Structure 1
Amino acid sequence: MERAGRKYFLFVTVFIVFIVYGCGSSSGKEGMPQAPPPQELPVVTVGIAPATTYQEFSASLEGIKDIEIRPQVEGYLDRIFIDEGAHVKQGQVLFHINDRPYHAQLENAKASLAAARADMVNAQINVTRLTPLVDNNVISDVQLKTAKASYDEAKARVAQAQALVNNAEINLGYTSVKAPVQGYVGRIPLKIGSLVGVSTTEPLTVLSEIREIYAYFSLSENDFLQFKNQYPGTTVEEKIKQMPPVELVLADGSTYPQKGKVQVVSGQFNNSMGAISFRASFLNQDGLLRSGNTGKIRIPRTVTTAVLIPQEATFELQDKVFVFVVGDSNKVASVPIVVTGSSGNYYLVDKGVKAGDKIVYSGTDRLQDGAVIQPQLISMDSLLKKKPL
């Protein structure tokens, strides 16, 4: 019985091993891992369309007149009639300098003038008295000539005294510092009680007339050469007249509602910076812009046949922009492109791809060169309708 049991156990064990081995052998190739199917990715055909691109240049803003208000006489500042940021009219009094010394100078000058006039009257009387005596040969004409010389001297002293009076009146008037133009008051560094004069380093304030604002910006030598080639005309002035209106992008990223016009250009390059300066003017009736603001000038450029690529289809690597181009057998290859500008959500491309090429629209982060995909074609027209230029 014991031997029979051992034989039965051995038989069952061999049978189980045979069954397991047979099942494993019978599965064969069906048990091997299968290759995943190609990725389904959206693909768009590169197209051509008219587009407007923009060049941006950093700009600083200044009023058409930024005038330093400086004292023209010396004295203590005893009144300030305005506050920083206030709008003032032309001729409005801004500051007052203590005028007591200048009142005294004026009174002294007037007294000197009165004395000079009295001397002139006496000299005239003397000439009048001696004239008939000379005519009747009672006295020699030497005395009359002397009297006339004294009169001329007295007359000159009157003119000199009058000039001193005029000068004293002018200096007295300078104690009231007035606005030469209308505009906005800048910072007021000095306070009441400060001693001011023509030698004071800081101005009392800066008055900005900002009904119109100038935006100063610079073009590099390369940008300037492109500018000269882009617009018709034989001179720079003629080319500037052909430039379209420009936009001003403010520091917060918003666009100023009024468009401006480029007016003048500097006569020569700044050798230290390798740039040449331009100026654009913007109307500023509401006073939204102030001197000292910064922003960016946007110059539009229209391209009639631009090669467009959605920005979503690109990726950057080592400061270069790439796309995945779909080739034969739906294999993809990364290709560098040369971007000449942007318009809306699209890049304008000069080199790398051409109209009719198919590129992967999205999912480029999951691709590598030589990968095979299952394209899902998207129309460029449909993209332009969803995201226009």
Structure 2
Amino acid sequence: MKTIITLSIMALILTGCGNKNASAPASVPATLPVLNIAYESATTEAEFPVAIQGKTDVEIRSQVNGTLDKIYVDEGAYVSQGQPLFKINDNPYRQQLNNATASLNAAKATVINAQIEVEKLTPLVQNKVVSDYQLKTAKANLEIAKANVAQTQAVVANAQINLGYTIIKAPVSGYIARIPRKQGSLISTADPEALTKLSDTREVYVYFSLGENDFINFKTQYEGKTINDKLKNLPPVSLVLSDNSIYSQTGKIDMVDGQFDKTTGAITLRAKFSNPNGLLRSGNTGKIKISIQHDNSIVIPQEATIEIQDKLFVFLVDQKNNVARQPILISGKSGTNYLIKEGLKTGDRIVLKGFESLPDGATIIPENSKKTVAKI
């Protein structure tokens, strides 16, 4: 019995030693999709903050002093060109017109009297009844009377203009802003604050600024010898509203400022947008979205990158199908793709996905190699 037990123990020991000496099965390389890097064209979209103004923004001010008698419109209302907005008390100006008219009538009567005097003296001088001196004096008085008529006519015209200014009309069609003054307020032409503002927003101007480098890149993107030539070749631009929605109408950049702002180092551009439904108002904010074409660029999907401590990496595949983490710098985004600035070159291969647990130096089996990424 002891012999049988001893043999069994020896057999177990030998079996255990044999398992230790057996070689472990080799790990199988992962089969992963690989992307072949090649140059291609891509489009990026840059956004810039904007200030929106109506095509015409007008301050409505009184051109005469007086009391505000009537307000014909409400705040926010749409008014047509020539529509009455305010009325200044016109009694003083009506009286001035009456006085000027009376003075004009008196001046005209003086002309008639002077003319009669000249007509009376003319035959007397011809017959040498009176001296020529008296006729010359009468003619001079007639010219003075005519000059007085012209002067008083100017006074009448000025009084009529001032009377007309008591009715303040809309110079353009548009929307009324706030009306800080109320009926009965004393109005002066020297008031620092306008009666209201009027915005013609059937078209709006969208102003934005580009830094010097952005402006240089902007100019080199489009054909044309002059700025005006380049503006004609610019594609339409989009407007992103404050709620991040895209405005339904596209716009056209039609103006570049003549000089850079010395304080900010930026230059102002203007885009024009149609506003048929009146959605946009002066003072709106948002962002303008400009598409920029990039030729001969390296573009990779964002999903082919991994971010580690605020840096982006890809998994580069060498000729032996070994992988290594490669840091990259991007110059922009195009949809779900990155435009590569540094770190990759044409002919390189990177792992497209499934690399999360890959260590540096691991070997993979490339699958479904591609020359380019999907169309943008």
TM-score bin (small chain): 0.7 to 0.9
Match in the other structure for 1:182: 173
Quote the residue 2:159 is aligned against. Answer: 168
Which residue is 2:35 aligned to?
45
Q: Whole-Å Cα distance in 1 between the matches of residues 358 and 69 of structure 2? A: 76
User: How many residues matched?
Assistant: 369
Q: Does 2:285 correspond to 1:262?
A: no
Task: Work out whether 1:216 is the aligned partner of 2:207.
Answer: yes
Distance in 2 separating the partners of 1:380 and 1:56? 32
| 1:63-74 to 2 correspondences below 5 Å | 63-74=54-65
Q: Does 1:252 align with 2:235?
A: no
CA distance in 2, matches of 1:323, 1:383: 15
Partner residue, 2:329:
338
Q: Could you say which residue in structure 2 is the equivalent of 1:75?
A: 66
Equivalent pairs: percent with the same residue? 52
Secondary structure, counterpart of 1:111 in structure 2: helix
Q: TM-score, normalised by structure 1?
A: 0.82
Q: Which aligned pairs between 1:244-323 and structure 2 lie closer than 5 A?
A: 244-317=235-308, 320-323=311-314
Counterpart of 1:372 (choices 338, 346, 362) is 362
Q: Residue type matched to 1:239 in 2? A: K
Please tell me whether the aligned partners of residues 36 and 372 of structure 2 are also in contact (alpha carbons under 8 angstroms). no
Equivalent-residue separation in structure 1 for 2:372 and 2:227 (angstroms): 42
Q: Could you report, residue by residue, the CA deviation over 1:44-86 in whole angstroms, capped at 9, with x for unpaired residues?
A: 4145454322222222122221111111111111211122222
CA distance in 2, matches of 1:101, 1:41: 95
Greater CA drift, 115-124 or 101-110:
115-124
CA distance in 2, matches of 1:179, 1:216: 25
1:256 maps to amino acid: Y
Shift in Å, 1:380: 6.0
The alignment partner of 1:302 has SS state of strand
Higher helix share: 1
Closer, same or farther: CA 82–164 of 1 in aligned 2, 3 Å? same
Q: State the partner residue of 1:146.
A: 137
State the one-letter code of the partner of 2:134. Answer: Q
Q: Is the 8 A contact 2:54 2:205 kept in 1?
A: yes
* Residue pair 2:321, 2:366 contacting (<8 A) in 1 also: no
Amino acid at match of 1:291: S
Contact 1:38 1:372 survives alignment (8 Å): no
Kindly provide the CA deviation profile for residues 9-47 of structure 1, in whole angstroms up to 9, marking residues without a partner as x. xxxxxx9xxx9xx88x958977xxx99978969544145
Q: Mind listing any 5+ residue stretches in structure 1 that lack a counterpart?
A: 1-14
Task: Please tell me the residue identity of whatever aligns with 1:131.
Answer: T
Letter in 2 for 1:191: K
- Matched to 1:64, the amino acid is K
Does structure 2 retain, via aligned residues, the 8 Å contact 1:46–1:308? no
Which AA in structure 1 matches 2:35?
Answer: T
Answer yes or no: is the 8 Å Cα contact 2:36–2:369 preserved in 1.
no
- Mark the CA change 1:35 to 1:163 in structure 2 (over 3 Å): closer, same or farther: farther
Query: Which residue matches 1:240?
Result: 231
Equivalent residue number for residue 189 of structure 2: 198
**CA 1:318 to 1:200, structure 2 compared with 1: closer, same or farther past 3 Å?**
farther
